[in-house]
């Protein structure tokens, strides 16, 4: 999955906006204002930080060399995933994006969860 496909997929999720809160070189996707994915726009390798259940994060890191503890993030709850090296198929990449989105959406305040559900 390339960055254009990643961007398009994220923007297709309900309640998602793209922002540049850390400057012009870091693209951030938020659901109802809370971050679930971010990527550097000036890196040679296309990699994305995604939120992950801590136990599953450990399993993924052990199984896939292209999934490492989150770069500049809480390493317990975030993974950095290399998207274009070819070692992770697109199906798993979509699953990881959806998982990150779902974790963040579940942590929203009830009022925001209700708004999201009704979009």
CA gyration radius, the chain: 14
Q: How far apart are CA 62 and CA 29, in angstroms?
A: 26
Give the pLDDT band (50/70/90) at residue 115.
very high
Record the pTM: 0.96
Q: How far apart are CA 57 and CA 71, in angstroms?
A: 13
What is the predicted pLDDT for the residue at 71?
A: 86
Fold of 3-117: 3.90.1150
Share of the chain above pLDDT 70, in %: 100
Please check the confidence at residue 95 and state whether its pLDDT lies above 90: yes
């Amino acid at each position: 999955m390339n960055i254009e496909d990643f961007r398009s997929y994220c923007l297709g999720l309900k309640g998602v906006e793209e922002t540049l809160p850390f400057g012009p070189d870091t693209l951030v996707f938020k659901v109802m204002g809370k971050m679930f994915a971010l990527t550097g726009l000036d890196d040679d390798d296309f990699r994305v930080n995604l939120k992950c259940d801590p136990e599953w994060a450990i399993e993924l890191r052990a199984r896939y060399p292209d999934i490492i503890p989150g770069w500049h993030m809480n390493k317990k709850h975030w993974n950095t995933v290399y998207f274009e090296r070819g070692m992770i198929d697109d199906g798993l990449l979509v699953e990881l994006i959806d998982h990150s989105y779902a974790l963040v959406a579940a942590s929203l305040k009830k009022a925001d969860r209700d708004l999201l559900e009704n979009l």
